[in-house]
Amino acid sequence: MKGYVDKDTCIGCGICPDVCPEIFKMDDDGKAVAGKEEIPEDIIDNALDAESQCPVDAIQVK
Ligand code: SF4
């Protein structure tokens, strides 16, 4: 599984890097960005939490 952020939708709230900093970071443009790597098994639950907590549904973990 990998994480994806739709930057057009992201409002830069900062929740996802708080919930799953291994995968989500804030980019220079103030929007979140997801690492391109495969999400390690022990972090998938955190990544899915970040997906569900995003207030604007900008994240996909799939
Ligand atoms: S939780 Fe959603 S809106 Fe907030 S920074 Fe992450 S992708 Fe953007």
Domains, the chain: 3-61 (3.30.70.20)
23 close to ligand 1 (CB < 6 Angstrom): no
16 close to ligand 1 (CB < 6 Angstrom): yes
Query: Which residue puts its alpha carbon closest to atom 2 of ligand 1?
Result: 54
Residue 8 C-alpha to ligand 1 middle, in angstroms? 11
pLDDT of residue 40: 97
pLDDT of residue 59: 98
pLDDT of residue 52: 98
Query: Is 59 in a helix, a strand, or coil?
Result: strand
Residue pLDDT, tens place only, 18-39: 999 999 999 999 999 999 999 9
Hey, what are 33's tokens? 């960005």
pLDDT of residue 34: 98
Q: Which residues lie below 8 Å from residue 41, measured CB to CB, with a gap of 6+?
A: none
pLDDT of residue 5: 98
